[in-house]
């Protein structure tokens, strides 16, 4: 799911590449989308790249390549392998579709289906959509009750590979505990400018917030603290095999 602005930018870039063979400049993109600054374009580009619609070509100025359009499923270039792993956060992975006792990374996570609870499934998380806009009370996902503690929780589908070195793959389902603050190094759902939510490592320093990916193919995004809010922290993960 892309936002309206992401779709507009992707279409504009694709049309310019087809017409001229050269991607438009950031100033041209800003003017085409009627944005006030190029920072908004940087954020939209990062969101499109994270979702696998475009890629930046290294060592070339203004070099963007459209990999796929929203209505297309096939990509012209292979993405980063989904089974790539990295150090750092070690998610408590629960195999999906459990119908009886299952073995997870933590022995305590092996449960019977009768101990499952239903959490609301709010949709896909990447740089793109506020959590409030994703809420759908008709969608739920069953998880082991031992996976969550007290309080409320919700689930999100991971869209993109920006956190693969934290063991979070495209297509995984993450379990989120709503909160408004987080310690440095925590993986959180962060809302930028009240418009775009993303799953990243959270770091605060000197009045600025760094949202760090766990994939060297993506850049850390840094914002003034007032522009970013925590909407929840990662507490678990479900993977379909």
**Catalytic residue, candidates 124, 200, 212, 229:** 200
Half-sphere exposure of 149 (CA within 13 A, CB side): 5
Catalytic residue check, 162? yes
Nearest to 150 by CA among 185, 123, 178: 178
**Catalytic residue, candidates 30, 46, 162, 229:** 162
Which residues, 6 or more positions from 106, have their beta carbon under 8 angstroms from its beta carbon? 92
Gap between the Cα atoms of 61 and 218, Å rounded:
17
Total residues belonging to the chain: 241
Nearest to 6 by CA among 57, 40, 31, 55: 40
- Beta strands (DSSP E) in the chain are 54-56, 64-66, 93-95, 116-125, 140-144, 154-158, 173-177, 186-192, 196-205, 208-212, 221-224, 228-239
- 3-state SS, 18-43, equals HHHCCCCCHHHHHHHCCCCCHHHHHH
Six token digits for residue 216: 């060297």
List residues with catalytic annotation: 162, 200
């Amino acid at each position: 799911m892309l936002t309206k602005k992401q779709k507009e930018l992707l279409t504009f870039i694709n049309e310019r590449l087809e017409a001229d063979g050269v991607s438009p400049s950031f100033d041209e993109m800003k003017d085409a989308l009627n944005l006030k600054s190029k920072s908004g374009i940087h954020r939209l580009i990062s969101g499109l790249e994270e979702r696998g619609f475009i890629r930046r070509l290294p060592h070339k100025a203004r070099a963007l390549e459209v990999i796929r359009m929203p209505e297309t499923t096939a990509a012209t270039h292979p993405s980063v392998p989904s089974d790539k792993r990295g150090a750092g956060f070690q998610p408590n992975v629960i195999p999906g579709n459990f119908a009886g006792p299952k073995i997870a990374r933590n022995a305590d996570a092996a449960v019977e289906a009768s101990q499952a609870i239903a959490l609301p499934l709010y949709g896909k998380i990447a740089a793109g959509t506020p959590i409030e806009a994703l809420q759908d009370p008709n969608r739920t996902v069953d998880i082991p009750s031992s996976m969550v503690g007290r309080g409320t929780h919700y689930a999100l589908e991971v869209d993109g590979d920006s956190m693969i070195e934290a063991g979070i793959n495209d297509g995984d389902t993450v379990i989120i505990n709503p909160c408004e603050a987080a310690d440095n190094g925590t993986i959180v759902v962060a809302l930028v400018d009240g418009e775009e939510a993303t799953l990243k490592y959270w770091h605060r320093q000197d009045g600025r917030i760094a949202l760090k990916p766990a994939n060297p193919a993506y850049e850390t995004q840094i914002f003034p603290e007032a522009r970013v809010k925590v909407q929840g922290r990662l507490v678990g993960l479900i993977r379909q095999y």
